[in-house]
Amino acid sequence: MFKKEGPQNVKNMETIIGESVILEGEFNGHGNIVIEGKLTGNLSTDGHVLIGERAEITANIKAGSAFISGKVVGNITLSDSIDIAKTANIQGDIKANSIAVESGCQINGRISIGSKIPEAPKKILKQEILKERGE
Amino acid sequence: MYLYIYDSCLKDKKYENLLTKIEARIIDLDMRGEVLKMNLLKNISQFLKDGIKKGAHTVIVIGDDKTFSTVLESAMLENIVMGYIPIDKKSKFSQIFGIPYGDLACTIIGGGIVEKIDIGKINNKFFLGSVVVENSHNTELKIDNFKIRVGRGNKIIIKNIDFEEENLNTSNPTDGLFEIFVEKVGGFMSKNSKHTLIKTNDILVTSKDSSVPLVFDGVQTINTPAQISIAKEKLNIIVGSNRKF
């Protein structure tokens, strides 16, 4: 079921990136992180990530779980769950153990739910086919 | 043996009664020592060095938070225990350390609970409370592998100890970390306000064009570029049981 964990719920958040903040680079946090500003680069944490409605993220995200209500351009890889709000705009692949999606959100990418993400179809070269046939 | 550093303002008549009470209490508790009355010509470091050679173990500042900050640097370099007898009822350091005002502080000092706390270092200077970057939109903070910039109308505050009345318990001077806040200028920090909080122990502050002043402990200034790091549990300070950490 979709959880309404909006950006106002910032109790127990160890890192908070406010609206007026622009962060660039490799951000390796610990614990729970709220982002309401802009982030470019990569984001990783072992805890929960909350992407606020006004946030603009151009980064790959690796975390325990996430709530997304802003814009994300990049792949999202989570060991646990993802909740996607109707205001979210995700341009990238999502891998998580479970997903809850609110009607109205935009997702452009592959979604893999469960313990294993399926591998992309392997490109087979013409030479390999000819080799297999012994030609 | 104790070393006492008297604030230059104690010459003022209005402190005469208070100082008499403090000195009487010091004698009662058998905490006598050498005294340095501060003025521009007196060298605090030399006073501490000479005192330590004679066997001094503790320096006690009788004054306000500004005086305490001034002595802090020399005390850090000489690695001596610090005590504080505040003469300002609104002293924020005294609230943090759990030290009462005036002669009542002597009993706490005599009790001698010594805690090791973190001290901030900005270039080659030391600070206890915080560093404020007023023109924050002109600056960039580099932390580990990332950079932070902020928009206009904000100020960056790097805190070792938070002296705001309502936030006295939010920063811990024994955790080895700074808390970085970004606040709207003119706004108030409240539970619901938008603010930024990142914890770290090493920050490089640079500025785009000209140098930007950084104010530390509310009284001293240094210009960018500035390396801000934490000296974990570097200051030995006498505290009371009502301390905030």
pLDDT tens-digit profile of A49-107? 999 999 999 999 999 999 999 999 999 999 999 999 999 999 999 999 999 999 999 99
User: Are B154 and A36 an interchain contact pair (Cβ–Cβ within 8 Å)?
Assistant: no
With contacts defined as CB-CB under 8 Å, which chain B residues touch A36? 194
- Whether the complex's predicted ipTM surpasses the cut of 0.90: no
Nearest CB to B148 within list A19, A23, A28: A23
Contact predicate B147/B123, CB 8 Å: no
Residues B38-93: tens digit of each pLDDT: 876 678 888 888 989 999 999 999 999 888 988 988 888 888 999 999 999 888 88
Q: Do β-strands A38-44 and A65-68 pair in parallel, antiparallel, or remain unpaired? A: unpaired
Interacting residues of B188 by C-beta distance below 8 A, sequence separation 6+:
none
| Low-confidence spans in chain B with pLDDT less than 70 | 40-41, 163-171, 186-194
Least confident of A2-6, A17-21, B52-56, B120-124: A2-6
> Is residue B137 less than 8 Å (CB to CB) from chain A?
no
Nearest CB to B196 within list A8, A17, A27: A17
Nearest CB to B147 within list A20, A25, A37: A25
pLDDT at residue number A73? 97
pLDDT at residue number A113? 93
DSSP A21-35: EEEEEEEE--S-EEE
Q: What is the C-alpha separation between A18 and A38, in angstroms, rounded?
A: 9
